[in-house]
Amino acid sequence: MAALKIENIEGGVVFSAKIVPGSSKTAVCGLLGEMVKIKVAAPPEKGKANQGLIEFLAKQLGVKKNAISIISGQTNPVKQVQVLGVSSDSLIEKLNLSKN
């Protein structure tokens, strides 16, 4: 089974996410290789899907929106996401990605 690849950085984590915009609801769909797959309700136009992703992750992870940034892949479905203020363990737990 594949595991989410998480890079620990000072004060937070960086991970890869595959985003599926224009979905019926915003939700974590599980793992896709070493990435987390997230469906976003917002459409893929004018950064709305990226904004929807940041708002969703902030709520799920219990951090402020400004603690989350998309460091690469702004116009690509595969993004590198940086989250400050969480550990890799809490990221996996709060996104329900733990291997049960």
pLDDT on residue 60? 97
6-94 topology per CATH: Conserved Hypothetical Protein Mth637; Chain: A; (3.30.1200)
**Which residue carries 């402020």 as its tokens?**
64
For residue 94, give both structure tokens.
């709060």
CA atoms within 13 A on the CB side of 25: 3
pLDDT in tens, 20-75: 999 999 999 999 999 999 999 999 999 999 999 999 999 999 999 999 999 999 99
pLDDT on residue 2? 65
pLDDT on residue 51? 97
Tell me the pTM: 0.93
pLDDT on residue 100? 46
DSSP H helices, the chain, are: 48-61, 88-94
pLDDT on residue 97? 87
